[in-house]
Amino acid sequence: MKTKGEYIESLKKQKPEIYMFGEKIEDRINHPLLKPQIDVLAFTYELARDPRYEHLTTATSHLTGEKINRFTHIQQSNEDLVKKVQMTRLYARYCCCIQRCMAIDALNTLSITTWLSDKKYGTNYYDNFIEYMKWFQKEDVCATGAMTDVKGDRKLRPADQADPDLYVRIVDRNDEGITVRGAKCHTTAAIPANDIIFLPTRAMRKEDKDYAVAFALPVDAEGMKFIARSTVPKRTSKMDRPFGQRWGVTETLTILQDVFVPWNRVFMAGEWELAGQVAEGFGVYHRHSYCGCKPAVTDMLSGTAALIAEYNGVDHASHIQGKLTDLACTAEQMYACGITGSVRGKPMGPGTYIPDITYVNIGKYIAGTHIYEEIYRVHDIAGGFAVTCPSGADFENPETRPDLEKYMKGKAEIPSEDRMKAFKLVEDLTAHGFAGWLMVASCHGGGSPEAQRITINRGYDWETRKKIAKVLAGIEPFEAFPEFKE
Ligand SMILES: Cc1cc2nc3c(=O)[nH]c(=O)nc-3n(C[C@H](O)[C@H](O)[C@H](O)COP(=O)(O)OP(=O)(O)OC[C@H]3O[C@@H](n4cnc5c(N)ncnc54)[C@H](O)[C@@H]3O)c2cc1C
């Protein structure tokens, strides 16, 4: 396993082509709007060595028997799935989006689909995958998953788009490898990564077969370009953006301009019938990750709301307690879906454990549809200072500090400075910049709510439910009551 320092050194050896806010970025490690994101990923190397959490943050490789970072592990049991959800909630309580989940969710998916492809088509993607995985675990590679294509007109399938490059596709192939063109979007954590794993984003038809492509590339592959943006605010008073300045997220438009991929890094190249399974498999693993990170987001929100209620002297009020309890229920419902999905997970393909599709989709669906209500509750509890609290810079200014000390007082025994800090955290998490990211990430990250609703509906056993109703209504006899198989 790499140390945090070794991870940073590994980034220095690669020179990806990055643009952000109208500039070419030469130093991705020390740039003030990117460093807070590097810090998030570095944390995954740090906590893997913390004796308090090693049981969650590390695993044993099924390929080599070595101790590895759990973010490089292929799930081997229900216990592994449970630990992944627990680990994700642990990390996300510190920094919200831990960002190393996309890659491992993509790799777990590929461990199944490459195996299925070799069985069905006689390809050798699973061998490629295993060799890649051994290297990935040994080097403790920091990677991300790029699945979402830019997609053009949503009504049209890949091959029917006016511009054929709106989904990533193979434009050439030879004995050495394939050449790919197109763009992925919303790619979280490409900037702090060593490698990027590309997957098809949807089911494909025969005429879309060039779009059924999965592969891995180093971030500095020739012809790959990133156009990034960052959640990190330009420099402000430290008090004003306590979270947003400390931890960051970037997403990139990830452009592939005829990039060559050698065969040993190709995991699908034209097997269009399996593309849907890749998209669905990634959806399951990634929504499982959300069942860990989204309860942690609610932990942050509910903790902040409970603190401000205490500082304002309203923590005793029954309506405040009721709203805080609603937040607790949301967090624990999502987490319960993650744990249940883990416990009910099953082995697939070569024995990789995949979580229960229905439960993890319900967990992510709750996250996407409840976030706005959660934020409303925090606003309601916090009051108007959620957005009107004067800046930390004015607290530091001797001309205004005495006024703020006096008039920003809530409960007498709480220092005004602490109360202002708590309001600024409310503002940072729910009302400015990062807060907008948090809402949209909860809604669309891991797939839009409708994608989960469709999956839940499709997999749910409606016939059993209808049968129950028929017996209860007297349409069918009591003996017809369906067997309990949950
Ligand atoms: C913060 C954030 C981080 C992300 N990180 C990553 C990442 O690291 N890697 C990655 O691969 N992806 C990532 N995503 C992408 C995420 O999975 C997508 O945003 C999500 O799948 C929705 O796709 P879209 O953004 O293209 O929206 P759209 O697909 O345009 O969806 C917008 C709306 O249109 C609806 N819609 C779309 N197509 C149809 C159709 N054919 N018929 C009917 N309705 C339709 C959707 O249900 C939704 O309501 C991230 C997203 C966010 C917001």
Q: Give pLDDT tens digits for 260-308.
A: 999 999 999 999 999 999 999 999 999 999 999 999 999 999 999 999 9
Instruction: Find all residues with CB under 8 Å of 298, minimum gap 6, and list them.
Output: 327, 328, 330, 331, 334, 374
Residue 459 covered by a domain: yes
Report pLDDT digits (tens) over 352-363: 999 999 999 999
Instruction: Tell me the angle at which helices 416-430 and 357-382 cross, rounded to the nearest 10 degrees.
Output: 140
Whether the pLDDT of residue 235 is over 80: the answer is no
Do 12 and 144 belong together in one domain? yes
Do 145 and 161 belong together in one domain? yes
Confidence category of residue 54, pLDDT binned at 50, 70, 90: very high
- Ranges of beta strands (E only) in 307-413 are 346-348, 352-354
Do 287 and 161 belong together in one domain? no
Whether the pLDDT of residue 110 is over 90: the answer is yes
**Ligand 1, atom 50, residue with closest C-alpha:** 445
Cβ–Cβ under 8 Å, residues 158 and 191 = no
Residue 317 covered by a domain: yes
Its domain, for residue 180, covers: 4-274
Do 430 and 447 belong together in one domain? yes
Report pLDDT digits (tens) over 436-459: 999 999 999 999 999 999 999 999
Report pLDDT digits (tens) over 309-357: 999 999 999 999 999 999 999 999 999 999 999 999 999 999 999 999 9
Distance 309 CA to ligand 1 centre (A): 36
When pLDDT is averaged across residues 26-41 and rounded to a whole number, the result is 96
Residue 424 covered by a domain: yes
Distance 233 CA to ligand 1 centre (A): 25
> H-type helices in 96-197, by residue range?
101-121, 125-138
Task: Tell me how many domains the chain contains.
Answer: 2
The H or E element spanning position 362 is: helix 357-382
Confidence category of residue 485, pLDDT binned at 50, 70, 90: confident
Residue 236 has a pLDDT of: 76
Distance 446 CA to ligand 1 centre (A): 8
Do 230 and 283 belong together in one domain? no
Ligand 1 atom nearest 201 alpha carbon: 11
| Pocket residues: Cβ below 6 A from ligand 1 | 102, 144-148, 151, 154-155, 186-188, 251, 440-441, 444-448, 450
> Which of the listed residues 274, 305, 332 is the one where a domain comes to its end?
274
Looking at residue 228, which CATH number applies to its domain? 2.40.110.10
Residue 238 has a pLDDT of: 83
